[in-house]
């Protein structure tokens, strides 16, 4: 999962730091991230796609300290909201490396991004073109845009995270995209600079990228012939990662092998927007066993992390590998590992073979660095977890555990 995750004498260490000691010092549930892993992943993308701009998809993990680590390796940011813009800026990302997608950008969000002069707006509808043009004009700026096209490719992943199919709400229809480009050309406060697409997330097979990029390159050629100056080809994110022990997340290099041959003669700079493949396996969630319950048909291991802390199993039926933080060499059982929340969907793992645990033991839920904390909520008035970053041989808190006062403060 992560080359910096090791077992020594039955105990788990991340970048040499004992996870048990972190749990004891900061309490649980606790998100822990490895900076070296994030750095390695950005480097791997930069090596595979030399000359490309890697815009880390902040939605995967928006902690500004995590963004800073990616930025220090040269990454820009892919954002989908005003809040993410502020997170990226706080993480030290240069606005000239920020791209902004999203089907429902609001006027204040667009104004903020226009004022900051971000690299490019990935526009998703005709209405948005008009609104952005009006805002840019009013603020005396030019907004650089790409149009997000929907290449109608099946990414063969979970339907909730397939975004590039015709029936989905994202982007503009591929067949009629040229009309939007022609329209945008008439809007004098917009400058057309790119083409954008994103087909989905957690792609374990890179072949759907080929179809999408072929289409986008076809559009690039047609637009160039019509005199458009396309400087950026943004092919989105979506590379899958290892969740199950038998999975193998494709490397940026494999993606490059699929995509780069299609770009012959293309002069535009390539942009990628990886999120999960940067931070997913950089992080894990530590939780403590509260109770054990033997029911007639099942064992339940009840832990202190619930669907409010990590919602992926509940909403996508996602698999996250779970291991004891400290193995005591006990026998294995098949159990459901569940949280304290009042819903049957509140589980971290089902019918999972795991070492027999006792009250007070800690577990680590792996591959939780992306769409983990980022999707956490206060459901059941539960404070969101603390986050710790391990970097350069030491560790520090990068987000405090929330207090009840904070959640209950309603004015
Ligand atoms: N670019 C755009 C326009 C996107 O919509 C996304 C993800 C990305 C880039 C980054 O994709 P990644 O490289 O992380 O696959 N909550 C879901 C994932 C939702 C992904 C949404 N868009 C999950 O937990 O699996």
For 309, residues 6+ apart whose C-beta sits below 8 A from its C-beta are 29, 285, 287, 339, 372, 373, 376, 382, 384, 385
Do 142 and 28 share a domain, yes or no? no
Instruction: Say what the pLDDT of residue 163 is.
Output: 72
Residue 50 belongs to a domain: no
Residue 67 belongs to a domain: no
What distance, in Å, lies between the first and last C-alpha atoms of the chain? 43
Has 342 been annotated as catalytic? yes
CA–centroid distance, 275 to ligand 1, in Å, is 6
Q: What's the CATH number where 401 sits?
A: 2.40.37.10
Domain boundary among 245, 272, 299: 272
Instruction: Say what the pLDDT of residue 234 is.
Output: 98
Residue 63 belongs to a domain: no
Q: How far is CA 385 from the centre of its chain?
A: 18
CA–centroid distance, 272 to ligand 1, in Å, is 12
ipTM topping 0.90: yes
Residue 109 belongs to a domain: yes
CA–centroid distance, 371 to ligand 1, in Å, is 9
Domain boundary among 224, 242, 272: 272
Nearest CA to ligand 1 atom 16: 371
Residue 155 belongs to a domain: yes
Give the pLDDT of the chain (411 residues) as one tens digit per residue. 999 999 999 999 999 999 999 999 999 999 999 999 999 999 999 999 999 999 999 999 999 999 999 999 999 999 999 999 999 999 999 999 999 999 999 999 999 999 999 999 999 999 999 999 999 999 999 999 999 999 988 887 777 777 766 778 899 999 999 999 999 999 999 999 999 999 999 999 999 999 999 999 999 999 999 999 999 999 999 999 999 999 999 999 999 999 999 999 999 999 999 999 999 999 999 999 999 998 778 899 999 999 999 999 999 999 999 999 999 999 999 999 999 999 999 999 999 999 999 999 999 999 999 999 999 999 999 999 999 999 998 999 999 999 999 999 988
pTM, two decimals, is 0.97
Do 252 and 319 share a domain, yes or no? no
Do 260 and 328 share a domain, yes or no? no
Do 138 and 239 share a domain, yes or no? yes
Do 295 and 267 share a domain, yes or no? no
Give the C-alpha separation, 384 to 387, whole Å: 9
Domain boundary among 272, 306, 321: 272
Do 299 and 200 share a domain, yes or no? no
Ligand 1 atom closest to residue 273's alpha carbon, by position in its atom list: 9
Do 186 and 248 share a domain, yes or no? yes
Residue 331 belongs to a domain: yes
Do 267 and 287 share a domain, yes or no? no
Instruction: State which residues form the domain around 240.
Output: 102-272
Annotated catalytic residue within 342, 381, 408, 411: 342
Nearest CA to ligand 1 atom 24: 371
Cis? peptide before 29, omega within 30° of 0: yes
Nearest CA to ligand 1 atom 8: 237
Do 142 and 206 share a domain, yes or no? yes
For 359, residues 6+ apart whose C-beta sits below 8 A from its C-beta are 289, 290, 291, 292
Instruction: Say what the pLDDT of residue 220 is.
Output: 98
Q: Is 371 annotated among the ligand-binding residues? A: yes
């Amino acid at each position: 999962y992560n080359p910096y995750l090791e077992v020594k004498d039955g105990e788990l260490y991340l970048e040499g730091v004992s996870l048990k000691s972190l749990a004891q010092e900061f309490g649980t549930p606790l998100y822990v991230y490895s900076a070296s892993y994030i750095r390695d992943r950005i480097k791997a993308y930069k090596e595979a796609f030399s000359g490309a701009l890697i815009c880390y998809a902040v939605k995967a993990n928006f902690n500004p300290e995590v963004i800073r680590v990616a930025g220090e390796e040269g990454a820009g940011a892919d954002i989908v909201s005003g809040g993410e813009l502020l997170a990226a800026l706080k993480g030290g990302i240069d606005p000239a490396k920020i791209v902004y997608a999203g089907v429902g950008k609001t006027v204040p969000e667009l104004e903020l991004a226009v004022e900051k002069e971000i690299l490019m707006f990935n526009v998703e509808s005709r209405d948005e073109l008009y609104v952005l043009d009006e805002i840019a004009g009013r603020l005396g700026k030019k907004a650089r845009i790409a149009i997000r096209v929907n290449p109608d490719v099946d990414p063969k992943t979970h339907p909730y995270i397939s975004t590039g199919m015709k029936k989905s709400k994202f982007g503009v229809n591929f067949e009629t995209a040229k009309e939007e480009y022609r329209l945008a050309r008439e809007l004098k406060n917009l400058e057309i600079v790119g083409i954008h697409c994103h087909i989905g997330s957690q792609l374990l097979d890179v072949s759907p990228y080929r179809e999408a990029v072929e289409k986008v390159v076809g559009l690039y050629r047609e637009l160039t012939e019509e005199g458009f100056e396309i400087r950026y080809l943004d092919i989105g994110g979506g590379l899958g990662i290892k969740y199950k022990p038998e999975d193998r997340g494709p490397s940026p290099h494999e993606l490059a092998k699929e995509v780069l041959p299609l770009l012959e003669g293309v002069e535009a700079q390539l942009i990628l927007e990886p999120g999960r493949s940067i931070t997913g396996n950089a992080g894990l969630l530590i939780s403590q066993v509260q109770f054990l319950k033997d029911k007639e048909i099942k064992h339940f291991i009840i832990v202190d992390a619930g669907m409010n802390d990590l919602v992926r199993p509940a909403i996508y039926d996602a698999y996250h590998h779970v291991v004891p933080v400290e193995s005591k060499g006990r026998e294995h059982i098949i159990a459901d590992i569940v949280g304290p929340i009042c819903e049957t969907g509140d589980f971290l793992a089902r019918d999972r073979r795991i070492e027999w645990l006792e009250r007070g033991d800690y577990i680590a839920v792996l591959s939780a660095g992306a769409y983990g904390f980022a999707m956490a909520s206060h459901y059941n008035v539960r404070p969101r977890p603390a986050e710790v970053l391990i970097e350069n041989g030491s560790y520090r808190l990068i987000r405090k555990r929330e207090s009840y006062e904070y959640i209950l403060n309603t004015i």
